[in-house]
Amino acid sequence: MPIALNVNENTHPVPDEVASDILDDIAVALRDVNRYPDREFTTLRESFAEYLGHDLDASQIWAGNGSNEVLQHILQAFAGPGRTVFGFSPTYSMYPLLTQGTGARWVAGTRQPDYTITPDDAAAQVLEHDPDVILLCSPNNPTGTALGLDVVEAVYEAARGVVVVDEAYQEFAHRDTVSALALLEGRPRLAVSRTMSKAFAFAGARVGYLAADPAFIDALRLVRLPYHLSALTQAAAIAALRNSDTMLAMVDEIVEQRDRITATLEALGFQPHESGSNFVLFGGVADPQATWRALYDRGVLVRDVGIAGHLRVTAGTEAETTAFLDALASIDSAS
C-alpha cells in the first residue's frame, strides 16, 4: 500500500545523521554480542530517566521490547486468573488481549458521548468494579482524547489496585496536557508507560518504557525473562535518546498535519474528535466499510476501528496527508 495511515506509526524515517550515529553504537555492541547483554540495562534506564525529567532516576524506570511487552509485564505481575483489569472503552484494542493472555478478566467502563471522562464518573465506575489493574490511555487510542490529571487522581484514590497511564502519544499532546509523571511522587501504585514507537519513529526497534515507584519496578523484575532486552536494542535506544532533539523534530510537523486533517474533515462535513495524538478519529461516515474500501482503492490505508459511523486516520507527511484528504474529498461519503 503506497500510503499507510492505519497503525499510527510516525511515517517520517529516522533522520540520516541520527541513523548513522545509531549504527556506530550498534557496531560497537556487535563486537561483544557473544556475551549476554546488561540484564539490568542500566545505561538505558538512566537515559530514559534523563529524557523524562521530573527528577526521576534509573531505579524508577523499566523498559521492554515495545510498550506492549511492558504492559504484559505489568499484567503478569499484577493480574492473572481470578483478577480483573479495567479500562474506559473505547480504548486500545490490545488491553483486553493482553489481559486475557494472563487469565484475568477484562472489564470495559464507559465514557461520555464525546469520549471524555469526568473525575466523579471515573471514580464511581472504579468503585463499582473494584479492579486489580486499571489501564488509562491518555491521549486515548482510538479516540485521541486526553485525560485531565484530576481524572487520574480520582481513579487512583478510588482504586485498590494498580493504575497505569499509557502515554504512548504524550509527545503529540496539546501543550496544556500535563503528563501523569507529575503525579508519581507519593503514589506507589501508579505507573506511567511510554513508547519509542510513535514520536521517536522507532516502531521497528521495539522499545517501550515505564516510570513508577522502585518497588513497582521490582515486581516487574520477577516476571521478565532473563536478558529480555538485547544488547543491540539497548545500544540503538541509548543512541536514539542521545539524539532526542533531532528524533523529535518531526513531532511539530505531524501535529500540524493532524490539525490540518481535523480542519479539512470539518469542512468536508465529517465530525472529527478533538485529538492530542498523531491520528484523528472522525464520525459522520455514512458507510465506514465502503469509505475504507474506496480509500484503499485510491491507495490510502486507514483504520476501521469498529465504532459505528467512524474511521481513524494517522497524520502522515504533508504529501501523504494531502493524498488522504484529496482521496476522501473525491468520495462523497459524509452522512
Ligand X SMILES: *Cc1c(COP(=O)(O)O)cnc(C)c1O
Query: Which residues of this protein are in contact with ligand X, per CB under 6 A?
Result: 8, 66-68, 92, 137, 141, 166, 168, 195, 197-198, 203, 208
Query: Of 209 and 327, which has the nearer Cβ to ligand X?
Result: 209
Q: Toward ligand X, which CB reaches closer, 111 or 333?
A: 111
Nearest in space to 137 (alpha carbons), one of 125, 146, 129, 149: 146
> What's the rounded Cα separation, in Å, for the pair 323 and 320?
5
> Would you say 44 and 238 are in contact if contact means Cβ atoms under 8 Å apart?
yes
Query: What count of other Cβ atoms lies within 10 Å of the Cβ of residue 291?
Result: 21
Please state the closest distance from residue 260 (CB atom) to ligand X, in A: 21
> How many angstroms separate the Cα of 313 from the Cα of each of 230, 282, 284, 333?
33, 8, 14, 15
Identity of the residue, 6 or 195, whose beta carbon is nearer to ligand X in the bound complex: 195
User: What minimum distance in Å lies between the beta carbon of 91 and ligand X?
Assistant: 8
| Beta bridge partner(s), residue 163 | 134, 190
Strands lying side by side in the sheet with 133-137: 61-64, 208-212, 190-195, 162-166, 133-137, 84-88, 105-109
Instruction: Provide the minimum distance between the beta carbon of 52 and ligand X in the complex, in angstroms, as a whole number.
Output: 15
Give least dist CB 35 to ligand X, A.
27
Q: In a 3-state reduction of DSSP, which class is residue 290?
A: helix
Return the C-alpha cell found at 248: 523529535
**Nearer to ligand X by C-beta: 203 or 268?**
203
DSSP 170: G
CB-wise, 200 or 264, nearer to ligand X? Answer: 200
Q: Looking at beta carbons, which residue is closest to ligand X?
A: 66
Q: What are phi and psi of 332, to 5 degrees?
A: -90, 90
Bridge partners (DSSP) of residue 182 are none
Rounded to the nearest whole angstrom, what is the least distance from the CB of residue 335 to ligand X in the complex? Answer: 27
Q: Of the two residues 137 and 201, which places its CB atom closer to ligand X in the complex?
A: 137
Residue 293 CB, nearest approach to ligand X (Å): 24
